Amino acid sequence: MKFNYICIYILFTFSLCFSSSSNSTLMSNENYITGEDGVVRMYVNIVGHVKNPGTYLVYDEIDIMSAISLAGGYLQGSNLNSIVVHHEDGSSSKINLNNSLNSNSSFDSLVKLQPHDTIFIKQNFFSQIFTSSNIPAVILGILNIALTIERTE
């Protein structure tokens, strides 16, 4: 009987320890979060045609290219001419990242990221057709049939 109470006490203690440590990793609705290191951080969302879309805790005043890099970078076939940043207040900004990549201009001048912004990177139309449809397989199948018919005649 005493052993059961000891086991319950130990399980209860462990559950309190682990539950309090996991609460510190939950997202916050606060605009800015200051860590123990004194660095001011904020959450931004990075979605679309990137390697690891998701919500990221980034330092304040981060440039858009550094934020995209945190998500693993943009994928081949991304439309870098029209990246859209949706702000929490409902407004949005359209960015042409190709211009900045091809020039020596700073990424800081493109857009100032704000807390809870969502960066959306679209996929090019032709890239989307060839990666998410069966059109290339159908075309190659028809070509294969045409060549087979031509060889048999």
Under CATH, what is the fold of the domain 33-122?
Outer membrane lipoprotein wza fold like (3.10.560)
The Cα–Cα gap between 26 and 20 comes to: 11
Whose CA is closest to 108, among 50, 150, 51, 66? 66
State yes or no: pLDDT of 24 exceeds 50: no
Give me the pLDDT at residue 137, please. Answer: 77
Strands (E), 16-103: 33-34, 40-48, 54-59, 83-86, 92-95
pLDDT tens, position by position, 106-145: 777 788 999 999 999 999 887 776 666 677 777 888 888 9
pLDDT tens, position by position, 28-49: 678 889 888 989 999 999 999 9
pLDDT tens, position by position, 83-111: 999 999 999 999 988 887 777 777 777 88
Domain extent listing, the chain: 33-122, 125-153
Tokens 């009987």 appear where?
Answer: 1
